[in-house]
Chain A
Amino acid sequence: DTGVSQDPRHKITKRGQNVTFRCDPISEHNRLYWYRQTLGQGPEFLTYFQNEAQLEKSRLLSDRFSAERPKGSFSTLEIQRTEQGDSAMYLCASSPSRGPAFFGQGTRLTVV
């Protein structure tokens, strides 16, 4: 499968725990995006990378959130000290520069 893959697909965690999600983009895509989506809303931009460089991070994102793309290929999104409000679908997408984005199936996070 040459599409965007995300792991895990589902994650249930207790409040206060740390979680990490992984995204493997389409191999020739140099841009990688992270979004968060809750029911009835559009995808909310979190951050994006051009190769290994993190070009922008949403100001709405608290410092509990961090993302990396160390070798310009896969990326990880970590949430520290999770809160119930972090429960959402976390979507990853990749694209060529200024091209359309192709999304993974997402990681659904539930914080209990």
Chain B
Amino acid sequence: GQQVMQIPQYQHVQEGEDFTTYCNSSTTLSNIQWYKQRPGGHPVFLIQLVKSGEVKKQKRLTFQFGEAKKNSSLHITATQTTDVGTYFCNSGNTGKLIFGQGTTLQVKP
């Protein structure tokens, strides 16, 4: 079945540095969803991208959906300690919303 791969699995950055996580699929995606899970918390929906080449921003977070709708990225500018957590990408292509291991971000103050 379809699988969305996410890299890197872990990222440690110094506070103030930028961070990017990538989501890749071998097949065209109908949409891409991004979630954040804080340590000890539950996944929280961040954003959904639907259109080819779409770019959306939420404060310091920039989300992109590739032109071919096979990849996506989440970029955080000037990380803060509040950005710590695991970021998951997911596709609504299939009904069951499979989550991978995500990218775990650690921010060193």
Contact = CB atoms under 8 A, between A and B. Distances in A.
Nearest to B42: A103
Interface residues of B, number: 22
A33 B43 CA distance: 13
Interface string A97-108: 011111111100
Given A42-B88, A98-B30, A99-B92, A91 B42 contact: yes
A95 B97 contact: yes
Interface string B83-98: 0001010101001111
Contact of B98 (A45, A103, A105): A45
Given A42-B88, A55-B95, A105-B42, A100 B33 contact: yes
B97 A33 contact: yes
A35 interface: yes
Given A42-B100, A100-B33, A100-B48, A48 B42 contact: no
A106 B31 CA distance: 26
A70 interface: no
The B contact surface, by secondary structure, is: loop
- Give the interface residue-count category, chain A: 20 to 34
Nearest to B31: A98
A100 to B, nearest CB: 4
Interface in B57-72: none
A35 B90 CA distance: 14
11 contacts: A33-B97, A42-B88, A45-B96, A55-B95, A93-B43, A99-B92, A100-B33, A101-B45, A101-B97, A103-B42, A104-B42
A107 to B, nearest CB: 11
Contacts of A103: 42-44
